[in-house]
Chains A and B, each alone.
Chain A
Amino acid sequence: EDQVTQSPEALRLQEGESSSLNCSYTVSGLRGLFWYRQDPGKGPEFLFTLYSAGEEKEKERLKATLTKKESFLHITAPKPEDSATYLCAVHYNNNDMRFGAGTRLTVKP
């Protein structure tokens, strides 16, 4: 069965404590992997798209990487304003898109 699994479900960090979020997938014919940030009560906001294994993208304190089975979102020296839910989504086959359940990140000052 095609699945996208994000771990951990929730992550609490101290400000400045770097960590990684994981998105693993079991789909065939990957065409792209997307990362989104979602603040409470709002719609997801696009962060990155990765298309092939080995690809990396960076934006401020965030770096996304992709392998054949999973993607990581690395957060370096996070700040309280990085607190949000981070979603990944996988585009596969022709037009199929599947979202993970998200990782809820809390960064304490």
Chain B
Amino acid sequence: DVKVTQSSRYLVKRTGEKVFLECVQDMDHENMFWYRQDPGLGLRLIYFSYDVKMKEKGDIPEGYSVSREKKERFSLILESASTNQTSMYLCASSRRSGGETQYFGPGTRLLVL
């Protein structure tokens, strides 16, 4: 079974803090994704990566950055957290570009005060 794990289930941070969300997958997938999920808006893609050290912007990259130093690990960074970044963050991985099924982690619920 594919397993995608995320470093935290719940996080509470203050405005202006730097926040790191980590995601690890154990299936040797090439592709990894970060989404945020807000009520009524569905999943929106923040960033994705097709390979180590490679990253592409998604639909809503502003205020975020990512890092992929190893194939199994994909980190999402909020450089200076703001209250409008309060959300559920979901990491996913897949075997190849887009068309393959994406497997999701359990999510991190982030609250920025």
Interface residues of A (CB under 8 A from B): 4, 9, 31-32, 34, 36, 41-46, 49, 87, 89, 91, 94-97, 99-102
Question: What mask results when residues 93 to 113 of chain B are scored 1 for a CB within 8 Å of chain A, else 0?
Answer: 000011101111111010000
Q: Is B76 an interface residue, CB under 8 A from the partner?
A: no
B97 touches A42 (CB 8 A): no
B105 touches A43 (CB 8 A): yes
Number of interface residues, chain B, beta carbon within 8 A: 21
B42 touches A97 (CB 8 A): no
Chain B residues near A31 (CB, 8 Å)?
98-99
A32 touches B99 (CB 8 A): yes
CB distance from A94 to the nearest CB of B (A): 7
Q: Given contacts A99-B42, A101-B41, is CB(A49)–CB(B101) below 8 Å?
A: yes
Which of B42, B44, B106 lies at the interface centre, i.e. has the most chain A CB atoms within 10 A of its CB?
B42
Chain A residues near B98 (CB, 8 Å)?
31, 91, 94-97
Nearest residue (CB) in B for A92 is: B98
Known A-B contacts: A49-B101, A97-B45. Give 7 more (CB < 8 A).
A4-B42, A41-B109, A42-B107, A43-B106, A44-B90, A44-B104, A94-B98
Cβ contact of B43, chosen from A9, A46, A95, A99, cutoff 8 A:
A99
